[in-house]
A and B are shown apart, each in its own frame.
Chain A
Amino acid sequence: MAEQHFGLLGLDDISVRFGGHQALDGVSLDVAEREIVCVLGPSGSGKSTLLRVVAGLQEADAGRVLLDGRDQRGVPAHRRGVGLMFQDHQLFPQRDVAGNVAFGPRMHKVARPERERRVEELLDLVGLPGAGARAVSSLSGGEQQRVALARALAPNPRLLMLDEPLGQLDRSLRERLVVELRQLFGELGTTVLAVTHDQGEAFALADRVVVMRDGRIAQSGTPLEVWQRPADAFVARFLGFDNVVAATVSGEVADTVWGKVPVPAGTAAGEAWILVRPTGVRLVHADEGLPCVVAARTFRGTHVAVTLRPQDGPPVDAACPLRDAPEVGRTVGVAFDASEVVPLASTAPTASTTATASN
């Protein structure tokens, strides 16, 4: 990475190796003040290791960690002034809620009255007013989550890191908390670096999304950018798009195993991989377009996901309106919309990328 200007947090070419496994491989990343960055990737892609390196819990084999421009080499975890919310919260079982939240300020020698004020304020903030005397074991998952957040915020960390912040919660609670968290961080002006394997969580929370694969950064951008223009087949598949196919582009048409597929104007000519979003797959009369057999239908709430099997090549996913979904076993024709076709970088989707996206 050529640029030498780093924000609040700068990672410069970080590598970590566990035995024969390269957990992080030359990762460079920049987080600006007040920015919320979410690292997204399948399990084993090195996300948690990244946080541990920043926190000082794991030493990097190569590269630099900079906080406010200062190299953190040799600075122990307790002097880095960053907060980390652990995946399974790691609340101290022998302390009550207030004892957990007050832990950080106490370590930083904050006087008792000030500490108590801070605990009260934070418990209000996370929506648990008056819960200070409760035992940690009596808390529900969502409550533990909030206490862990309050505890991480209590020492006023210059950077707050969240490891799978909502991983263990049920779906509705998770969706509500993501919105609350984003609001909260906006109000407090907190700089946040979060990691998750849940794309919904990442897109809802982050100003910027960083997709990781095998210890490297595969793509970095705003949620919209990443969603609209996945950089390569891995990112596309990780985001749940499976209509990825090899193509030869010439002009506004790509030649694929599915036949001719229109591509947006300006697509570079030559060998490439292209993604067709399911919404860009139109079902037409059987003797028009690519003939396919309907292999499966899955109800998705707002639409029906239909899996179509052409005579040649990988299956095609289509999103159909609820009423128009064809029966399984019927033969239909398929046509593609150029506006929903995305040319990808030329990396081939490998076996390891197709096996990911476990949720």
Chain B
Amino acid sequence: MRLGLMAVPCVFFAVFFAYPVAAIVARGLRSEGAWHLAGFGEVLTDSGIRHVLWFTTWQALASTALTLLIALPGAYVFARFQFPGKQLLRAVVTVPFVLPTVVVGTAFLAVLGRGGLLDDLWGVRLDTTVWAILLAHVFFNYAVVVRTVGGLWAGLDPRQEEAARMLGASRLAAWRRITLPALGPAVAAAALMVFLFTFTSFGVVLILGGPTFATLEVEIYRQTAQSLALDTAAVLTLVQFAAVGCVLAVHAWTVRRRESALRLVDPATTARRPSGAGQWALLGAVLVTVLLLLVVPLSVLVARSFDTAQGYGFGYYRELASADGGAFLVPPVEAIGNSLQYALAATAIALVVGGLAAAALTLTRGRSRPGRLVRGFDALLMLPLGVSAVTVGFGFLISLDEPPLDLRTSWILVPLAQALVGVPFVVRTMLPVLRAVDGRLREAAAVLGASPWQVWREVDFPLVRRALYVAAGFAFAVSLGEFGATVFIAQPDRPTLPVAVTTLLGRPGDLNYGQAMALSTLLMLVCAVCLLLLERSRTDRTGEF
């Protein structure tokens, strides 16, 4: 039964993930029937590559530290304070996370770059410094920390701290000895997620990094697409793979620890209005941070899209409807339709694959500790988050090109690649909810005469339906913004929104820049609408993101 459920995800991963990645690695490391592993030594001793490795690691560490520093007060405020507009603010905070990296990069370019907001006001430009990248990473991952840590924090019973204080602990000691240890695993998990996202950062660094800064992922892209140095790219892919594998192993460990017996209470009962100057000041500081860090870049992006040479207007948007710009074979506006179509198909695939995987992982619960096989399966599902999307995209091109799997000319190729990134989100969203379904409810249904299939339809499905919507929303947004793989496999006459934005940014002239801003705004709008729908159906326990 469990093996049956696991079969579909396993086959999907084997054919559309392992095979293409293996194919491209083999292409790079193997010629004339022999493996060339000497390439490892050469690549890893190359000073340029070592610089990339060093930069990738330290910027990820710095981004993670900075994100925690800025977002933890936010997590506290969301967990413990009740204030008007909290729902709206929660949605605003989450928008960046589902935004395509390309849009994030573009938005920061509009604030920090040449002719950007800071340049106009004070003549300050940060786009050539590492600060632009770090701030964009904070922008992108703020929601990860607020949601992961804040979600748990809100569920911690304040009476635990009160009990400690009755036993003679000071306010600080109670926090340090009771709350902090309870939060520890959640903070660690959030930090690891942020580290993972920033370690493999692509779109943001590609746009904001300029020629000086490159992460592994960007370097793989350059080696593959620009230098056609597949051997170097293959080595780098394996290096990134190993690094990500380590991070995921640690992540799996902290998640297991986090599931250990914490008694959680209804978050609604733990939040109250801030009282006293200190708490109001904290709330104010968090609001200002959100405003400066999250709202300003997005607003500037929108403003720029209307700021044409002839004054404010829809000029750039009108331009999107014509193919005269020369950047594409088709009017850029068609990218919207392409993106929506691809993302819908990718969502459907991700829901089927991820849903089956989550169901398979839940089945093993009730009995005993999950076995090694199941934990391995769980980890496998997370891998696409860390494997170079560029590699996957290029792997698709070179491996799915002959019968019976000749998909090069098929439009389904793009959704397949996008679904790979969506699956981890679906699994992580569904799993906690499925696991929270009391096993005895299923038993009650079985004793009343429900077959296993009827049990799923009658008990599980109604309870997880909302989580399913949330998972679909995430998968949709992630597919919509997927860039690393799509940039390789999208056909030139059918670009997606992020691909079109990048193409426009890569070309000179105000018109192209303006159109990039306009397209980004549209992309952001689609994502925001998607997120608002998702917020409405949000339950208290919807996953780890």
Contacts and interface: CB of A to CB of B under 8 A. Distances in A.
Interface in A100-130: 103-104, 107-108
Nearest to B449: A107
B33 interface: no
Interface string A67-103: 0000000001111111110101010111100000001
A77 B446 contact: yes
A107 B452 CA distance: 11
Interface stretch (B238-246, B356-364, B455-463): B455-463
A193 B449 CA distance: 19
Nearest to B459: A92
B88 interface: no
Contacts of A82: 447
Interface string B451-471: 100100011001100000000
B448 A107 contact: yes
A104 B449 contact: yes
Contacts of A78: 446-451, 454
A204 interface: no
A153 B242 CA distance: 58
Interface stretch (B99-107, B208-216, B437-445): B437-445
Contacts of A77: 443, 446-447
Interface residues of A, number: 27
Contacts of B451: 76, 78, 107
A92 B441 contact: yes
Contacts of A84: 443-444, 447
Contact of B440 (A90, A95, A103, A108): A90
Contacts of B447: 55-57, 77-78, 80, 82-84
A55 B445 CA distance: 12
Contact of B450 (A94, A107, A151): A107
Contacts, number: 65
A104 B441 CA distance: 13
Given A57-B443, A90-B444, A155 B449 contact: yes
Nearest to B445: A103
A80 B443 CA distance: 13
A282 B125 CA distance: 99
A86 B444 contact: yes
Given A90-B441, A94-B462, A107-B454, A151 B448 contact: yes
B239 to A, nearest CB: 43
Given A78-B447, A151-B448, A86 B459 contact: no
Nearest to B444: A90
A93 B450 CA distance: 17
Contact of A76 (B445, B446, B462): B446
Contacts of A81: 449
A103 B448 contact: yes
Contacts of B449: 78-79, 81, 104, 107-108, 155
A125 to B, nearest CB: 17
A16 to B, nearest CB: 14
27 contacts: A55-B443, A55-B447, A57-B443, A77-B443, A78-B447, A78-B448, A78-B449, A78-B450, A78-B454, A79-B449, A80-B447, A82-B447, A83-B447, A84-B443, A84-B444, A90-B440, A92-B444, A92-B445, A94-B462, A95-B462, A103-B445, A103-B458, A104-B449, A107-B450, A107-B451, A151-B448, A155-B449
Interface of B: 438, 440-441, 443-451, 454, 458-459, 462-463
Interface of A: 55-57, 76-84, 86, 88, 90, 92-95, 103-104, 107-108, 151-152, 154-155
Given A78-B450, A86-B444, A154-B448, 14 more contacts: A55-B443, A56-B447, A76-B446, A77-B447, A78-B446, A78-B451, A79-B449, A83-B448, A84-B443, A90-B438, A94-B463, A107-B448, A107-B450, A107-B451
